[in-house]
Chain A
Amino acid sequence: MDVSQYLEIFIDETAEHIQSLSDNIMELEREPDNEDTINEIFRAAHSLKGMAGTMGFKRMQHLTHDMENVFQEVRSGNVKVSSEMIDILFQCLDAIEGYLDAVKTTSDEGTEDNEAIIAALNRFLAVEENKEQKEDVAAKDHAKTGKVYEKKYLDIAFSENEKKALREAEEAGQNIYGLTVYVQKECLLKAARAFLVFKAVEELGQILVYSPSSQDIEDERFDQEFSFYLASESDYDAVRRAVVHVSEIETVVGEQLKYGAIEEHVRKTEAAAPIAQSEAPAAVSPKSEPATRDAKQPAAKGKTANKPVTNRTVRVDIEKLDALMNQVSELIIAKNSLVSISAADNGGSQNQTFHEQIEYLERITTNLHESVMKVRMVPIESVVNKFPRMIRDLARKLNKKMELYMTGEDTELDRTVVDQIGDPLQHLLRNSADHGLESAQLRAKRGKPETGTIRLNAFQEGNNVIIEVSDDGNGIDTESVKAKAIDRGLVSPEQAEKLSQKEIIDFLFMPSFSMAKKITDVSGRGVGLDVVKSNIETLGGDVEVKSKLGEGTTFIVRLPLTLAIIQALMVEIRDEKYAIALGSIQNIEDIPVKDIKYVQAEEVIHLRGMVIPLIRLDQILDIEPKEEEPESLTVVIVKKGDKFAGLVVDNLMGQQEIVIKSLGKYINNNNKLISGATILGDGEVALILDVNTLM
């Protein structure tokens, strides 16, 4: 059986179920008696089992089946949730994830049987569960809902062709069966089920009429049932058996029909009432279906109403989006060159419309860029969701009490960034759990609550997204970091005395500089913060640390919202042009030279109650100094977090949308002053200043 076309759906949905299981099991640990949670877990395990079965992944099916059994018992109150059970359940999840990873890479589940886990699961079962019991429950469920299985196949409106086919089949001496198949409510790959049903019955005969159309069934545009007419030489029981044999089929209703009787029925419904007519096509057209169904079964309303939503999304390969983004970049470069031609022609004879059209084009390209960017944005949720589980495991492993609080999981970032941010964040969290938080005794002695707190806050700030990882633990002991740095020969004791707090903390980001007193398998092997830092820097971001000894540490990760195109202010220093990201610019000031003050021999300006250090870009960028100092300076005030600095430039050239290009691997850019280059409208290359490293 070819199910490969469902593989992608299977992978995505399995991942979703694993996530929901993980969330719910955590919830269960907190409230072992919450029935909703138990039911939710049962449903997810059941769906996983069903999906694995459909795809032919026997081992995965086996494992999820046993998980489901355990929950069956929990649900019926025979077994109590215990902390060992939670542990085993998490192991199950890991095992399922292992299967899923194998499926992702090889399209096969692999050969790991996970017998140990299965055995552990079965130990929880007070009574060996058997199939009948389960079906019993299933039957009870149905009895509760009081569902009536209608013979929907009678409502089909036939086309002339279909009538002809039915007539001919009967004339050829075949039996005609009308069947309506009801799929289980929890069934996820309904189209796959339908496919299996059709495949099974087609071995016995030929399907003449589908309702909804075969295309709609294939696209899963049907609710819980579908109908078809089959011409076959076998008897009804054989057909019925073939259908019921497919798993996750709730029931099937049907009978053998004579063509005459079918036609009679159709005529009757058509003639009897015009209202009934609206019902007949309803079965065919999925669009009007919800309306009629609503009237009949108000209970099914929620389910039918949100059905079409799933069809409005499209899965797109990220590479296609990359290609699209590149083309938008090219378009913006082309547009910029048109704009510069238009600007150069300012006083010329070109007519008004030309300039208007250029402005129009500018607006369109900006909107286009924004749309493409939005398409690429995904919430960081997919990454941070796994953290609560990780912290729980760490808490047990480290034997510390801790709680993770997360906010801003819905903050969106470029897909490429989200894909790569997981590892660094995970590392920072481990760091907080292992090094940050103190042991319970020490916490008690310091008068802190016994349970340590780790927070992960994400939010947007201008063109950046900030993710803060903080703990209320020990904080960084700068004295011992200093001692270690001296010990390592990184600084002399005299130099060390002069180092600022920040400079000392920066040592932690140096390769193989680990502060862990003993090496645990959680952290402390010296591959750590430096990797975090370089990972984040490759994404165009940076990390900052704030720490207070005894009170806690906060790591602030700053990431660019997008990687490709930004709004920038173009400035001129002598004859060189540089771009500064607009997102980090606070405002622009004209400062008379006489207003410059000195603090510790550094130039500062006093602006609206703030003391802001001046940065002479010409000195930093090795540009020849001006022969004479002008009377006033143009200063671009930039902002990084709550810090400000004033960049001295010669000229402002205006705001522009720029496409970020990499400088490549050849040029040394060790101090990272330049975050990239861009191509201006006239074809010239301008460099982009990285404000974050300037400060």
Chain B
Amino acid sequence: MAEQLEVIRNERKQYIVVKIGNEQYGIDISYVDNIVRMQKITRVPKAQSYFKGVINLRGEVVPVMSLRTKMGLEADVFTNASRIIILKLEQQGLFGVIVDEVKEVVTLGAAEIEKSGQSVNGSGESFINGIGKNGEELISLLDINTIVDDRENV
């Protein structure tokens, strides 16, 4: 696995730990452009259901997706702790994902990551490429590239 090899090579990576529902997810910090508070999201008609719409990020129009909808969980409830994590992919530019809460930044080495290609949510799709162990806690590591992969429409 290319990712796996990369992890071994780079030894230790930093992850932002976020909460969605009861689970903790880790997002590779190298993809993260910014974390912003919840703001008004403009709905885009006829867009994919998991895209909540677009926001204004310092003068740029950035699409925002709901990981909950994408993963088949119940709808988002926005609270004071809700955040939009702005991610950047080399090719396609910026997009945001909504999370319930941002907890901390952890550093994980290859030894603390267990490779996982298995579906966790049971829907047959996996957005996770590994499980990180941070002390007692388990963190599902999100595979950013599969999140934006548009399988729903194929």
Please give the residue numbers on chain A whose beta carbons come within 8 Å of chain B beta carbons, in ascending order: 330, 333, 576, 620-623, 661-671, 673-674, 677, 679, 683-687
Contacts and interface: CB of A to CB of B under 8 A. Distances in A.
A664 B59 contact: no
Interface string B106-143: 00000000000000000000000000000000000000
A684 B54 CA distance: 10
4 residue pairs, one from A and one from B, having the closest CB atoms:
A685-B42, A621-B45, A661-B61, A677-B61
Given A661-B61, A685-B55, A668 B42 contact: no
A642 to B, nearest CB: 28
Given A666-B95, A668-B46, A661 B60 contact: yes
11 contacts: A621-B46, A622-B46, A662-B61, A663-B54, A664-B62, A667-B54, A674-B46, A679-B56, A684-B42, A685-B56, A685-B61
Contacts of A622: 45-46
A683 B54 contact: no
Nearest to A686: B42
Contacts of B47: 667-669
B44 interface: yes
Given A661-B60, A664-B92, A677 B54 contact: yes
B42 A687 contact: yes
A622 B46 CA distance: 8
B131 to A, nearest CB: 27
Contacts of B8: none
A663 B48 contact: no
Contact of B63 (A330, A666, A673, A683): A666
**Which secondary structure dominates chain A's binding surface?**
loop
B59 A674 contact: no
Given A677-B42, A684-B42, A687-B42, A667 B59 contact: no
A671 B60 CA distance: 23
B56 A671 contact: no
Interface residues of B, number: 26
Interface in B34-91: 40, 42-48, 51, 53-56, 59-63, 65
B38 to A, nearest CB: 14
Contact of A663 (B40, B43, B63, B65): B63
A663 to B, nearest CB: 6
A669 B45 CA distance: 9
Which one of B43, B53, B56, B60 has the highest number of Cβ atoms from chain A below 10 Å of its Cβ? B56
B150 interface: yes
B114 to A, nearest CB: 30
Contact of A667 (B51, B55, B56): B51
B22 interface: no
Contacts of A677: 42, 54, 61
Residue from B53, B61, B65 having most chain A Cβ neighbours under 10 A? B61
Given A576-B43, A668-B51, A673-B46, 10 more contacts: A330-B59, A621-B45, A662-B61, A664-B63, A666-B63, A667-B48, A667-B63, A679-B56, A684-B56, A687-B42
A666 B45 contact: no
A665 B94 CA distance: 10
B59 A333 contact: yes
B62 to A, nearest CB: 7
A181 B142 CA distance: 76
B153 interface: yes
Nearest to A674: B44
A684 to B, nearest CB: 6
B93 A685 contact: no
A176 B93 CA distance: 68
A434 B26 CA distance: 59
B153 A668 contact: yes
Contacts of A333: 59
Contacts of B54: 663, 667, 677, 685, 687
Nearest to A621: B45
A367 to B, nearest CB: 22
Given A679-B56, A684-B56, A685-B55, A664 B61 contact: yes
B45 A673 contact: yes
B40 A679 contact: no
A679 B51 contact: no
Contacts of A665: 92-93
A623 B45 CA distance: 8
Nearest to A665: B92
A563 to B, nearest CB: 15
Contacts of B45: 620-623, 673-674, 687
A190 B51 CA distance: 62
B28 to A, nearest CB: 18
A348 to B, nearest CB: 24
A330 B56 CA distance: 13
A662 B95 CA distance: 13
Contact of A679 (B44, B61, B92, B95): B61
Contacts of A685: 42, 53-56, 61
